[in-house]
Amino acid sequence: MRQIKIITVCGSGVVSSTMVANKLKNQIEDEKGYQVEATEANPGQLEGIMSSGSYDFIVALTPVTQSYDIPIIDGIGYLTGFGEDEVMEEIYKVIDGLDSNN
């Protein structure tokens, strides 16, 4: 089973990022059948997290000003429910791209 590793980022790295991480984990596992490992963070923790492991993409609920070598997806629509489908389309495009690279 393919494993997807994501980082969810919110201002504190606790509440919103955890809620979105759990919801994404369940949805991707149910719809795509992948095992999902989600790490929650605030923007200040990103550099350390990125240097300690390999991740597939970031879902940002707050601005991420530094660029990384993985996609950063604006997840506000997923958090609010307004634009949730569009966020999932973008996430699935990234996941499908990972599959085609392997």
Which sequence spans correspond to the domains of the chain?
3-101
pTM of the model: 0.93
Q: Are 28 and 34 in contact (CB under 8 A)?
A: yes
Distance CA 64, CA 30 (A): 28
Topology (CATH level 3) of domain 3-101:
Rossmann fold (3.40.50)
| Residues sharing a CB contact under 8 Å with residue 89, sequence separation 6 or more, in sequence order | none
Per-residue pLDDT of the chain (102 residues; tens, 9 = 90+): 789 999 999 999 999 999 999 999 999 999 999 999 999 999 999 999 999 989 999 999 999 999 999 999 999 999 999 999 999 999 999 999 987 765
| Residues sharing a CB contact under 8 Å with residue 58, sequence separation 6 or more, in sequence order | 6, 7, 8, 9, 46, 64, 68, 70, 71, 72, 73
